[in-house]
Chains A and B, each alone.
Chain A
Amino acid sequence: MSSPTPPNEHSELYAQIYEEIRAIARRSMAGERRSHTLQPTALAHEAFLALSRLREAGALERTHVVALASRAIRRILVNHATARLARRRGDGARREELDEQLSDELSAPSGADPLELVALNEALEELERVDARQAQLVELRFFGGLSHEDIARIQGVSARTVDADWALARAWLRRRIDGAKDPR
């Protein structure tokens, strides 16, 4: 199998997946705000139902769904992080009555620091230009939570290649992010 068709963000499918996952994340976040504990089982439970509905509707390649879902998660989390940062700067509250337009962006159940997420996103965009396969690996691993075996299958490479790609991509991103954080 050659390298997979890159996920197409213009597709109807992507829009659907994005919407589904966004809704799931939002619901689980609403639950979290009330109880201050995440409900991971509930999240996964609802997430796969959403995905299965999509599969039922379109008889899709699993790998495509996985890749698109990972991308959707990335975008959701990054948007959220951006909004949170904007709010920290006081930008979300421009008047008493308007304050919530930025919280339109969903609240995702992410423990990750918004600064890190936004920095990672920028670094990933750069990595995409240098080596698209490594960038996709990071997306699938970090945002989609996929194992290296799964990623190897999706990318049509050996698990060892994925391990090696990961070692480099991780080092590359870290250096890029640390460098951005702490400019010399």
Chain B
Amino acid sequence: MSRHSQIRALFLEALAAPAAAREELLRRACGGDEELRAEVESLVESHQAEECFLDGGALGSQFRVSEALARSDELRVGPYLALALIGDGASSLVYRARDTRSGVEVALKLLRPGALSAQAIEDLLAEAELLRRLEHPAIARCLDAGRAQLHGAASAYLALELVRGTTLSVYVRSSEASTRHRLELLAAVARAVHHAHERGCAHNDLKPDNILVDGEGRPKVIDFGAARSLRSSGDAARPPGGTPRYSSPERRSGDAPFDAVASDVYSLGAIAWELLTAKTPDDERMLGEARPSAAVTLELRGELERVVRHALEHDPARRCPSAAFFADELERYLAGVAVLSPRPSAARRLAEFARANRVLVGGFAATLLALLAGVAGTSWALQRAREARDAEREQRELAEVRLEQAQAARERAVQGAQILGELFRRFSDRSRDGAEKVEAALVDAASALPPAVEGAEEVQLALHHSLGVALADFGRYELTVEQLERALALAGGEREEQLERRAILLLDIAAAQSLRGDQLASLARIDEAQRLADLHASISAPTRLRCAVARATALLERGRTEEVRALAAQIRAQHGYAPGPLSLALASIEGRLLTEEGRFQQAIEGMTPALAAARAQLGERHDVTLGLLNNLGSAWSQAEDFAPAEALLDAALEGRTKVLGERHPDTLQTVHNLASLRRRQGRLEEALELQARAARGRAEVLGPLHPRTLLSRNNYASQLQALGRFPEALVELRSLLASAELALPEQHWQRGLYRRNLAVLLHEMGEYDEARTNYRACLELWEAQFRPDDPRLSDVRHLLSLLP
């Protein structure tokens, strides 16, 4: 008998005996084996203690595998036997089910038990009622509906024609459907929608996910859960929810009079736009506002573009009048017949343009271009004046006058050049058309600038500098660096203001290189500026502070947090808490450090007054204010206090989008953080969408190998994993790891992170060997990097120990 069996027998015997007799019984049974006696006694003592958590279940009474399994044989609703879950909505579940009377398979829509209410039952039955009015080959038919008991509660069911197929978006992607086929599908869907309209029913939630395509490439409109009768009015006619990116502006705004038919037509237009441009419709704004022709792909141009835009008209009164008209137009286009959709009138286009580009229409573009030309021109004028002085000695007097004039012009030009960048920042509208125009002007100007002319270096330098800074605002970081480098090449001299300017130029270059993703080069430039500051006492305190803060930011970007911490302390010691943007920027960095260490409360306490100060001193739109909004929001988010997190991050996103544009790296950072927040809130689908937007944006703006892009891709993969989409997550993580190994230095800690995350996924997928290899690789890397007591190490070790 093993030791444990022996213990078991004695333990049971002792329990069975009256309490008073136990001690004696054990003494006798154990003979001299004191250890055994102590063991059993302590077990008996443990047994007698009060209730403990082991007595309940890990999930309380809420989950019992046995019950769950027992009932799995009997998901019967009315005459239907559920076979498999095929759809998973907020308030309902759709099963593939068999009609036990006929053996026919149907799509059975049931209310989620958690969403069960008397109203929900009535709504489901009303949906059946509406559907019964419809009979169209491209609408999934209602076969049966009724009330039923489900798990002991009154509920209802809806049996629909079972469509074996995929959703429209998946179909279009996977079958690489031709443009013609896409248009045919759209026309068929539009006909079905029109049929519903004729029978007095609006769908109210048309989107690619609610359109299935069957095995023969025919579309079926499904899910009339938001459908309403056109005869109902008032609140009863206004459907719930809806999917914003396919919803008409009047429906989204929620207050304009609502025409359900026109609104369905708009949704058809939005689906068409997506199908033809392959743009995922985060570009809500694009759909809603003046739609730039630059976004139109080859598939959507000319007459077809007119047709789709007609359906997407903002004003319902001007919109394509019916779904049938839309279908007719598509078919006319397919048949090569001229379409009827109007070309937007010149006045209307002008009005749209004016709305989008208020400032430019005011003549700003022209002014800027003139100013640019003028600045470039004065360089030549000055040079010519100098030449004239030399060549025409006999006309010395005249030449002096010219030279004076030219010098005065140069002064003005320098000033003009200096305010140029400021003007761009302040006035250029961020809507795409406007930005493109200004950007184009800048790029032209950059290429048109003459090479440096002797004596005109000042002008030339100021111009390159301003142009460079202005180009950075448009995300043209390559050109920015090029312009700034040219400015730097002209910035010689040992006078105080010349040294100062050189330091500033170096820091500007560093900022652009950092935004471009070239962290090493950026850091090198900052170090260069730092050396200037070390050598020359004349470099001003603000520039020194800027240099230190830039250095801290760059190091943070590189993940060298220890150095950042030391540097931040040093800056505080040197510069104190003097008010001003840089001090507040430093507070932001310190907040980020604390957040990273998980000291959320301290981070919040530090950044809250800094944000208030930034708002008061710098205004809502200042970079530093926006950065603080972002960082403070992120700290709240990680502290899992969602209300302030949401308010702050929303404000940060709005502000950054307005000031910096949608694609600016900082804007994308906020998108990224908002995605994290959504995920913590359990809003997984939204999180996935935001994460995809951040990852895509960063790949485009910063390049696919930038560390921040890699982070976004990592979180996107995590998001897929969280949604149970393992194969996709696996593909993403593998490619991420490959990118990281290409892009990051060998010792970069992020490499370890991606290995770890890949291992976690493999672990979950049961690929234990590969998981082990990756955990170990991560551990090896991190052990070389982190202090031995770093919790990241124990995390990986623990995960490794969980492997079978």
Residues of A within 8 A of B (CB): 9-10, 12, 14-15, 18-19, 22-23, 26-27, 29-34, 38-53, 55-56, 62, 65-66, 69-70, 73-75, 77-79, 82, 86-87, 89-113, 116-117, 120, 130-131, 138, 141-147, 150, 164-165, 167-168, 170-175, 178
Contacts and interface: CB of A to CB of B under 8 A. Distances in A.
Interface stretch (B47-55, B129-137, B380-388): B47-55
Given A30-B682, A73-B59, A104-B760, A97 B599 contact: no
A110 B792 CA distance: 25
Given A45-B113, A144-B64, A171-B46, A73 B804 contact: no
B58 A92 contact: no
B711 interface: yes
A97 B795 CA distance: 19
B596 A19 contact: no
Nearest to A144: B65
A47 B95 CA distance: 14
Contact of B4 (A73, A117, A130): A130
Given A29-B682, A69-B65, A89 B598 contact: yes
Q: Which one of B59, B599, B672 has the greatest number of beta carbons of chain A within 10 Å?
A: B59
B63 A47 contact: yes
B62 A70 contact: no
B72 A49 contact: yes
A41 B114 contact: yes
B722 A19 contact: no
B441 interface: no
Contacts of A55: 69, 72
A100 B65 contact: no
A14 to B, nearest CB: 7
A167 B12 contact: yes
Interface in B557-616: 559, 561, 592, 595-600
Query: Per DSSP, are chain A's interface residues mostly helix, strand or loop, or mixed?
Result: helix
Nearest to A138: B54
A93 B46 contact: no
Contacts of B679: 100, 103
Contacts of B113: 39, 41-42, 45
A26 B724 CA distance: 9
Contact of B12 (A33, A146, A168): A168
Interface of B: 4, 7-8, 11-12, 15, 42-47, 49, 52-55, 57-69, 71-73, 75, 82-85, 88, 93, 95, 112-114, 151, 153, 559, 561, 592, 595-600, 631, 634, 637-638, 669, 672-673, 676, 679-684, 708, 711-712, 714-715, 718, 721-722, 724, 726, 753, 756-757, 760, 764-766, 768, 791-792, 795, 798, 802, 804
A100 B637 CA distance: 11
Given A23-B724, A44-B63, A175-B43, A100 B49 contact: no
A65 to B, nearest CB: 6
A89 B600 CA distance: 11
Given A45-B113, A49-B95, 10 more contacts: A22-B724, A31-B682, A56-B83, A65-B69, A90-B597, A97-B676, A100-B718, A174-B49, A175-B42, A178-B46
Contacts of B61: 40, 145
A93 B54 contact: no
B73 A106 contact: no
B56 to A, nearest CB: 8
Nearest to A10: B766
Contacts of B561: 95
Contacts of B599: 90
Contact of A62 (B11, B69, B84, B795): B69
Nearest to B43: A171
A40 B62 contact: yes
8 closest Cβ contacts across the A-B interface?
A: A90-B598, A52-B72, A145-B64, A91-B791, A39-B114, A30-B682, A40-B62, A42-B114
A106 B760 CA distance: 12
Contacts of A47: 63, 65, 68
